[in-house]
Amino acid sequence: MKSILIYIPLAILLMWFLTVEGMNLSYDSTHYLVAGDFFSHGKLKQGLNKIFPHHAPFYSLVLASTQLLTGGAIEGKDRHPVKKFIVRNVPWARLVAIFGFTLTVMGMFLLGWHFGGSVTAHLSAGLTLIFSPLVNIFTWAWSETLFLPISIFCLLALFLYTKKRSIFWLLFSAVLAGLAFFTRFIGISLILTGSLVVLFVIENPKQLVRIIPWNLIACSPVLLYLGIHRVTAPNPHGFFYHLLEFSKVSLRDFAPIAVLVMVLGLILEVLRWKDGEKVRIWWGVVLYVLMYSGILLIICSSIWIDPLDSHFSRLNMPIYPFLLLFVSVALTGLYKTPERPFTETYHYEG
């Protein structure tokens, strides 16, 4: 487990090098940064007006805190943000991205360690460091730089709860699920996943009470969104169109070979399960991937949002770490699959 320390400087150096000329900024990025600047000056109302109703506030709040610590400033924040943010010198957003990427690599190592041992842990962390679509996301001032590590550690906490039944991991996962929604509204997928995980592992009626504090904590940020009036345009394309786009983007980013490895690995896990062996992929991770993908496709089919194939697959990105985990587990399974003898071994006495 100590080998996780190897990946901390690697993650920091990689992201530091990639952002040495500044962060990439989109239209959404400028709103996050301007809102964070308002927050850093104590202008809560102006900051919320800048990002609501389309964005959750946690990323901007973290930017504001980092901006205060570094002494950064944005000039002319009342102007049109796209015209103002031609210069990408926002070091506080860069620090948040570096921190988020480092946590992501560490979280992937820990997930891999629990699901497949040291080989899977190193594969998971290593693939995270070199998988360019995932790495590129952290060069942009986007809320994914926080949402990704939060979701990884939330699922890790839920997994540890299912194994140890510890109240600490139960409450910690609830806090992280709430923060996920506070970072991106599609974090509701993590709340729903966590609710089902806590519900499914209940062993007796007395444990039903545990679902109450979990949902109270995880769902508390949802109350902030209930009073927000949001006007959105309908999307002219249907569910199956977006399903096709979602599949095309994922296939493009992972390449057919990686997809083949994932499918083969999952088949091997099913065969092991039928033979009574331990399955390394925890069902909670699979549930989250399906839950997030389904909610994303429903949202895309209902309202007009960014295309699924825009900005390095930004909308697909929250499931990519877990797909990399599937690849890592599959490769480990192929490497460690025991050979089953077809003949018996006899011992002869001389």
Q: DSSP states of 1-18 as a string?
A: -GGGGGHHHHHHHHHHHH
Sign, CA torsion 329/134/74/36: negative
Q: What is the pLDDT of residues 177-200, one digit of tens each?
A: 999 999 998 999 999 999 999 999
pLDDT at 205 exceeding the cut of 90: no
The confidence score (pLDDT) of residue 189 equals 94
Burial of 147 per CB tally in 10 Å (0-12, 13-18, 19+): buried
pLDDT band at 350; cut points 50, 70, 90: very low
Q: By the 8 A CB rule, do 320 and 154 touch?
A: no
Looking at residues 313-330, what average pLDDT do you find?
87
The confidence score (pLDDT) of residue 247 equals 67
CA distance 32 to 219: 23
The confidence score (pLDDT) of residue 347 equals 42
The confidence score (pLDDT) of residue 314 equals 81
Q: What is the pLDDT of residues 9-46, one digit of tens each?
A: 999 999 999 999 888 888 889 889 999 999 998 998 88
The confidence score (pLDDT) of residue 312 equals 57
CA distance 212 to 203: 16
Please give the mean pLDDT across all residues of the chain.
81
The confidence score (pLDDT) of residue 28 equals 86
Single out the residue of 281, 284, 264, 259 nearest to residue 335, CA to CA: 264
Looking at residues 322-350, what average pLDDT do you find?
61
The confidence score (pLDDT) of residue 301 equals 73
CA distance 313 to 270: 30
Looking at residues 70-86, what average pLDDT do you find?
56
Residue in the block written with tokens 């594969």 = 123
The confidence score (pLDDT) of residue 305 equals 62
The confidence score (pLDDT) of residue 121 equals 94
pLDDT at 236 exceeding the cut of 90: no
pLDDT at 85 exceeding the cut of 50: no
Q: By the 8 A CB rule, do 218 and 154 touch?
A: no
The Cβ of residue 202 has, within 10 Å, a number of other Cβ atoms equal to 13
Among 91-105, 136-150, 249-263, which stretch is predicted with the lowest mean pLDDT? Answer: 249-263
Looking at residues 225-242, what average pLDDT do you find?
56
pLDDT band at 81; cut points 50, 70, 90: very low
Q: What is the pLDDT of residues 87-132, one digit of tens each?
A: 456 889 999 999 999 999 999 999 999 988 898 999 999 999 999 8
The confidence score (pLDDT) of residue 203 equals 79
